[in-house]
Chains A and B, each alone.
Chain A
Amino acid sequence: GDSVTQMEGPVTLSEEAFLTINCTYTATGYPSLFWYVQYPGEGLQLLLKATKADDKGSNKGFEATYRKETTSFHLEKGSVQVSDSAVYFCALSDRGDSNYQLIWGAGTKLIIKP
């Protein structure tokens, strides 16, 4: 079945450092890919998405490119801030005939130190 694998956390960086959180997937169809963010004590917010190969999703300085050849959707940010500290989830939705659900990665906790 479909699955999402994320790098394990926590990831600890200093402010202004470059961030990469790896995400790879397996899917039988043509998935859409998502990054969600969960700030401490809050719900799940859609950060960015990409619906087809080579699409780049971007939001709030974060980017991720849908790479079909490597089945990856790595999250990047050039200069992180303390306020980016959160748990980041990679997810996919396989646009099969009856698949309505999101398949989630385990989440990666990001800690940014001043």
Chain B
Amino acid sequence: EPEVTQTPSHQVTQMGQEVILRCVPISNHLYFYWYRQILGQKVEFLVSFYNNEISEKSEIFDDQFSVERPDGSNFTLKIRSTKLEDSAMYFCASSEARAGNYGYTFGSGTRLTVV
């Protein structure tokens, strides 16, 4: 069964450093997403991406965040200057169509720890 692949599985970074989280969505999917889950809390939407541009973003997704699809397969989330409160599990997801029709396929997540 096709999978969404995320790397690394765990990243530790110092406050103020830049991090890039990487995702390989399912190859025929057109919609891409990033969500995060702070330990013990709700899953929160960050951003959706379609046709090489951001479709929607949440209030969390401020100027410190950016997304890119640098080639035909990768989808990255960059945090320019990490803060302690960015520590969370970050999930990438992809879907063939808008989530309302099919739901998403999620990756297994990257646990980001900012120290």
Contact = CB atoms under 8 A, between A and B. Distances in A.
Nearest to A45: B106
Contacts of B93: 44
Most buried by A among B31, B50, B98: B98
Contacts of B58: 101
Interface in B56-115: 56, 58, 91, 93, 98-109
> What is the size category of the interface that chain A forms with chain B?
20 to 34
B106 A102 contact: no
A49 B31 CA distance: 19
Contact of A104 (B43, B50, B102): B43
A30 to B, nearest CB: 8
Interface in A87-114: 89, 91, 93-95, 98-107
Contacts of A34: 103
A16 to B, nearest CB: 29
Contacts of A45: 106
Contacts of B99: 32, 93, 100-102
A40 interface: no
21 contacts: A42-B108, A43-B107, A44-B43, A44-B93, A45-B106, A49-B102, A51-B100, A89-B43, A93-B103, A94-B100, A95-B100, A98-B55, A98-B56, A100-B48, A100-B56, A101-B48, A102-B35, A102-B43, A104-B44, A106-B41, A106-B42
Interface of B: 31, 33, 35, 41-45, 48, 50, 55-56, 58, 91, 93, 98-109
**Nearest 10 A/B pairs, CB to CB:** A43-B108, A95-B100, A100-B48, A101-B45, A93-B100, A93-B99, A44-B106, A104-B43, A32-B100, A43-B109
Given A31-B100, A101-B99, A104-B44, 13 more contacts: A34-B103, A42-B108, A43-B91, A43-B106, A43-B107, A46-B104, A46-B106, A49-B103, A93-B98, A93-B103, A100-B56, A100-B99, A102-B43
